Amino acid sequence: MRFIIPSLAALFLAGCSGSQHSQPSRETTAACMEYQSMMTAPMPPEAMRRLQKACAASTRDRGE
């Protein structure tokens, strides 16, 4: 019993520390946030395409 509890604690701590991978920050642009917020709004297809193109252009400008 003395061996099981410390082993489980070590296993738990090792498992928790291994899952903290650093991911690159993917901040969205203002144009993309506007596009995402309007995706479910009832609007003409041309207006939706304009928002989508503005989002794509802003992302391209940032180098992503």
DSSP state letter for 41: S
Q: Is the pTM of this model over 0.95?
A: no
Q: For residue 42, how far is the Cα from the chain centroid?
A: 26
Extents of the domains making up the chain? 28-64
| pLDDT tops 70 at residue 4 | yes
5-63 pLDDT per residue, tens: 888 777 676 666 655 555 444 678 899 999 999 989 899 999 999 999 999 999 888 77
Q: Could you tell me the CA-to-CA distances from 50 to 27, 54, 60 in Å, in that order?
A: 21, 6, 15
Q: Could you tell me the CA-to-CA distances from 10 to 1, 13, 14, 59 in Å, in that order?
A: 15, 5, 6, 43
Q: What is the pLDDT of residue 24?
A: 47
DSSP state letter for 24: -
| pLDDT tops 60 at residue 64 | no
